[in-house]
Structure 1
Amino acid sequence: MRGLFALILCCAAMLGAPVSAQGYVVQYTVTEEWVEVPPAPESADRAIAFRRARTPTSIAAYGPFRVLDARRAVLVGVTGPATPSEFKAMLRDYPQIAQLDFLEAPGTDDDRANLATGRLIRAAGIATHVPADGSVRSGAVELFLAGAKRTIDDGAEFAVHSWLDDSGRQADDYAADSPEHAYYLRYYREMGMSAEAARAFYDMTNSVPHETALWLGAQDMRQWLGDSPVDGVVTSKPKSAPESQPRISYLDLGTTNF
C-alpha cells in the first residue's frame, strides 16, 4: 500500500511539472536507405568496411539481396550462414531473376556458406555484373566469379586478401597441399578456371596478409575471367582506393552442408 501511495505522489509530481522542464521526442522519417558496416575491433570474427552505399529502390529483400524487378537483383551487404537459404527463398519467389548486380559487397562472415551461395548462383545460370560504382571485396569476389556470364564496368573496384580461419591462422600458415587450400582451388575449377589459372588466382588473393588488401581495377579483374572485354567498354586505369580494409573472408571448414 505504501508503494502504491508513493507511485501516486510520483505521478502527481510529474503532471505538475512546469512546461519548461518537460522533455520532447521529435520523430522524423528518412527517405533514403543506407547499408553501412561500422568500424569494428580487429579480431578473427570482425570486419571493417570503408564506405556506405545507397540501396536502390527494391520490391523485396532477402538478407543482403534486394530484388529490383522480376529479372534483376542486387547485392548490398555481407553474406553469412543464412545466405544460401536467403538466396533460395529469393529464387523461389522470383524464379525469373537472370542477373545479380554487385553494388556494395564487403565480403562474408562465413566462407563455407559464401561458396555454397556461389554454387547456387552458377547452378541457376545467373549472370553477375559490377557497375561503375560497384565495390566487390574479399569473399564477395568468389560470388562474382560464380556468374554464368560476368561483366564489369570501368570504375568498378575489387579488393582481395588472405583468408583468416577461426583459429587466427591465414593461408600461408598451412602447407601447400593442405585440404584448406584444396577447398578454394576446387571452387575456382568449378567456376571454369583451369588448374593453372585457379592456382594463380588463389595465390594472387593470398599475396597480401589478411590485415591489408590488394586493390584491383576493372581491367585487372577482367584478365582473370577468360572472357572477351565487354563491347563498347574502354578500359581505364584503376582508380585510387581508400586506405581502408575490406571485409574479411571468414573460413569455416566444418562439416555443415548446404
Structure 2
Amino acid sequence: MKKLLPLVLITTALLQACGSSNSKSTSVNPTTTTPTTVAEVHHIQPQDIPEYIETFKQQQAQLQLQFDGQQSAISFIDMSMENKFILAKYSAGVVRIGFDLEEEKPVSELIFMEGDASDPENFEATRILQGTAIEVTEDDDNYIYTGSAVDTQTQNSYPVRLVFNESLISGGASTLVVEGEQATISGTLGTQTYIDMQEMLNGQTITTLVFDSVDGSVNDAINMHTGRLIRQAGLTTLMPADGEAYSGGVDLFAAGVERKYQTGGKLGVHSWCCSAGKPANELGEDHEAHGAQLTYFREMMGAEKGPKFYFFTINAAPFDGVHIMSEAELSQYALVTD
C-alpha cells in the first residue's frame, strides 16, 4: 500500500490537542534566532500537485461500504491515535474503523452506529451493530474489511464489506460556504480542502476568507499549497470574534494578503511531531525538517518575520498541547496586519 500516512501523522496529535477551544494557554518566552539562509523546500513539489490530486481522486473513488447488499460512500469525521480508530460517515450513520495510526496497520474492528450524522458533534446513535469475524486484507492501496455486523438489540446479522485507503484521512473534513464575495471555512483541513478552494477561486469572485472553527490539518504537505492558493488569489483572511483556528488553520490564516482579527477570536499554535523521533521544538533551528514550513512562512510573512513566527509557534506549546496567542503576540509576530 502506498503510504502518505507519515504526512498525516505529523498533525494527528495536533488535532487531538487543538480540537477544543478550552485548551489552556502556556506562557511563552522565546529565545530563538532566525537563520539567515534557508533553502526552498516542499513536501510536495508544486509541479507534482496535479498528479498528487489525481491520485487522491482515484483513491477516493474506491472508498465504499457495502452493508447488507446496499452500497454507500464513506467520508472522514475524526480519528484517535490512542484508541486506534477512524470515524467515517456513511449513508445510515457513522462507522468506527479499527486502525493503528502509529503502526500504520489495520485493527480487525468495525462498529456501526446508525443515526443522523449531519452534525457529528451532536450525533446520537439510534441503533448499534458490532462487527464480528472481521478479516482485513490488502489490495494495492486498499485495506478491505469483511465480515458481519450484529445488531446489539435484535442479534440479527448482516454481511459487511468496507474498502478503506489513506485518502479517507488525508482528505480531511472541511467545508467552504460562500456568501457574496465572502467564504467561510470550518472543519479539518486536508487534500479535499485544496480541491474545494481551487474550484471555488476558479469559479467565483471571493475577496475574504472567514475562519469559523478550524481544528487543524491532517495533511500539512498539501495544506501549505492551499495557503498558496489563498495568497495567489489575494484574499483577506478574517478571524471573527467567535471564530477559532488551530495548527494548520493558523497556517491558512497567515496566507491572507491582509490578516484581520476581532477581539475574542482564537488562534492556537504549537509544535509538531515528529522527525527522527523528536518533536519540532527539540530539533535544532538548522534542522532540515523545518525546511518546508520555513519556506511557507517566508513566502507569507517575509524573510525575517516568517521564520520568527514559525519558531515562536513550535516553542509556544508542545505538540500535544496548544497556546492561544494573545493580542500582544499577534502584533509582535505580525500575524495580524489590521
TM-score (norm 1): 0.61
- Look up the equivalent residue of 1:68 and give its one-letter code: V
The structure 2 residue matched to 1:110, chosen from 201, 207, 219, is 219
In structure 1, the partner of 2:313 is: 205
In structure 1, the partner of 2:236 is: 127
8 Å Cα contact 1:66-1:73 kept in structure 2: yes
- Runs (4 or more) in structure 1 with deviation over 6 Å come to none
CA distance in structure 1 between the aligned counterparts of 2:293 and 2:229, rounded to whole angstroms: 16
CA distance in structure 1 between the aligned counterparts of 2:335 and 2:282, rounded to whole angstroms: 30
The within-5 A match list for 1:133-152 is 133-152=242-261
In structure 2, the partner of 1:156 is: 265
- Look up the equivalent residue of 2:238 and give its one-letter code: H
**SS of residue in 1 equivalent to 2:206:** coil
The structure 2 residue matched to 1:193, chosen from 271, 293, 302, is 302
Q: Deviations for 1:133-177, whole angstroms, at most 9, x for unmatched residues?
A: 111111111100000111000011111111124875421343432
CA distance in structure 1 between the aligned counterparts of 2:328 and 2:276, rounded to whole angstroms: 35
**SS of residue in 2 equivalent to 1:103:** strand
**SS of residue in 2 equivalent to 1:125:** coil
Matched, 1:78 2:203: no
8 Å Cα contact 1:155-1:218 kept in structure 2: no
CA distance in structure 2 between the aligned counterparts of 1:90 and 1:220, rounded to whole angstroms: 32
8 Å Cα contact 2:181-2:206 kept in structure 1: yes
Matched, 1:40 2:148: no
Larger radius of gyration: 1
- Look up the equivalent residue of 1:113 and give its one-letter code: I
CA distance in structure 2 between the aligned counterparts of 1:158 and 1:227, rounded to whole angstroms: 11
| Uncovered stretches (5+) of structure 1, i.e. residues with no partner | 1-36, 47-51, 54-61, 231-258
Give the fraction of aligned pairs with identical amino acids, expressed as a percent.
30
| Uncovered stretches (5+) of structure 2, i.e. residues with no partner | 1-76, 85-99, 103-120, 123-171
How far the C-alpha of 1:93 sits from its partner, in A, is 2.6
Change in Cα spacing, 1:226 to 1:210, as seen in structure 2 (3 Å) is closer
Give the CA RMSD over aligned residues.
Answer: 3.0
How far the C-alpha of 1:219 sits from its partner, in A, is 4.2
Change in Cα spacing, 1:173 to 1:218, as seen in structure 2 (3 Å) is closer
The answer to which of 84-93 and 144-153 deviates more is 84-93
The within-5 A match list for 1:46-61 is none
8 Å Cα contact 2:81-2:101 kept in structure 1: no
**SS of residue in 1 equivalent to 2:260:** strand
